[in-house]
Amino acid sequence: MASPRRVAVLIDSWSDYSNHVVKGIVRYVREHTPWLLLVQSRDAREQSTVPGHWRPQGVIARVTYRALAQRLRRLGVPVVNVSRSTVPEYDFPQVALDERAVGHLAAEHLLQQGLRQFAYCGLPSQANYNDTCGPAFADRLAREGRPCHVFQPPLSAKPPHAGVTIANLQRWLRRLPKPIGVLGLDPERAYELSEACWASEIQVPDEVAIIAGEDDELLCAISHPPLSCIDTGPERVGYEAAARLDRLMEGSSDPGQPQYVPPLGVIARHSTDTLAIDDADVVRAVRFIRQNAFTPIAVSDVLREVPLSRRALEQRFRALLGRSPAAEIRRLRIERAKELLARTDWAIPRVAAAAGFSYTEVMNQVFRRELNLTPTLYRRGARAGEL
């Protein structure tokens, strides 16, 4: 019986995202192959090394700087890069988050809040990182005729100089039109935005609605208010990277193109719980829908909450949000069902009930009509990174 292959995993452990990538690698190993894993946790500022006695037969790493790329190349074994960065001249196979899809999802979410002004806060300029999230966010907004203000931090504005970042953000935020929706590329940027708003006495979410480009359960929870984010599903990045490395170690040819794993959806928290709509009745109706969408409500229940006829509510709802009250209820239920299908192993009837659908058959019909998929196929595609 052949000995298990030795695989080194060089991924910094300072972020929730990275830890979930490692979990995805471990899940692949449990399901498919008995690898021996050397998981070398490190701080992002430390040098990654593989112990000389270990002699790995494959490596999964965040390849973010030239010295590491050179050391990995000298190992002479297959390497898969799970960083969104690349090092020129070291074209390791790459599996990474689809940042363009993140930008589009964030724009859609903020547009659905009725916002008309938008901004983006990215990372300091870096030679090895090409930010595609911000441009995708701006492009999606441009299709709606909405401009996007951009804050590009100076290179020095990062720990241990976080105070400089907050001061710069305060000046920028004060100049922005209000109300406005802002995307922070990652949880750290979004958290700093929230801190800068607090220091400047800017109200979140009523004046500035903030969404993070990825989730960090702790950082998003301790922010005041808790941060909405894009559910990037980083375990799937680790899973797909392990699958790609497995094929390489088996001797299969590699297509050479980066593999981008799409995000799962939006996790809505209080930082974007705003309605930039100048119609108190519609705001009241939307808030009622959002609070009760996962219970057996219908439009008739909404009408009992607002002093409007059904026709008037429909007209004003469509004029301000571009959809009907029934469509808003359906949209929220679909998004909740998609989240549960992707993130849990719940049976389909349980998902349907938790998402507010009266029967499993109703959810099946809605999924086929709106997504051209059954819930089961959606779950399979989301977990395989195909949606």
CATH of 6-96+234-261, one of 3.40.50.300, 3.40.190.10, 3.40.50.2300, 1.10.3720.10: 3.40.50.2300
- Mean pLDDT of residues grouped by 10 in the chain (387 residues)? 83 85 94 87 58 84 88 92 86 93 96 92 72 94 95 59 69 94 94 94 93 93 93 93 95 88 90 83 90 92 92 91 90 90 91 94 94 92 70
- Considering just the CA atoms, what is the radius of gyration of the chain in Å? 23
Cα separation, 364 vs 367, in Å, equals 5
CATH of 99-232+266-272, one of 3.40.50.2300, 3.90.1150.10, 3.30.110.60, 3.90.1200.10: 3.40.50.2300
What single-letter amino acid sits at 334? I
Cα separation, 206 vs 10, in Å, equals 42
Parts of the chain belonging to CATH 1.10.10.60? 280-383
pTM of the predicted structure, to 2 decimals: 0.79
Alpha-carbon torsion, ordered 49, 53, 59, 65, to 10 deg? 20
Six token digits for residue 382? 């989301």
Parts of the chain belonging to CATH 3.40.50.2300? 6-96+234-261, 99-232+266-272
Residue 373 burial class via C-beta count within 10 angstroms: exposed 0-12, middle 13-18, buried 19 and up: middle
Residue with tokens 């990538």: 21
Rounded to 5°, angle at Cα 192 from 189 and 193: 85
What is the reported pLDDT for 161? 42
Cα separation, 355 vs 343, in Å, equals 14
Topology classification of domain 280-383? Arc Repressor Mutant, subunit A (1.10.10)
Cα separation, 116 vs 56, in Å, equals 53
Residue with tokens 């009523």: 206
Cα separation, 319 vs 297, in Å, equals 23
Six token digits for residue 28? 């692949």
140 Cβ neighbours under 8 A, 6+ residues apart: 103, 104, 107, 108
How many alpha carbons fall within 13 Å on the CB side of residue 151? 26
Residue 381 burial class via C-beta count within 10 angstroms: exposed 0-12, middle 13-18, buried 19 and up: middle
What is the helix, strand, coil percentage profile of the chain, to 5?
A: 45, 15, 40
For residue 352, which of 301, 298, 302, 296 has the smallest C-alpha distance?
296
What is the reported pLDDT for 162? 43
What is the reported pLDDT for 2? 66
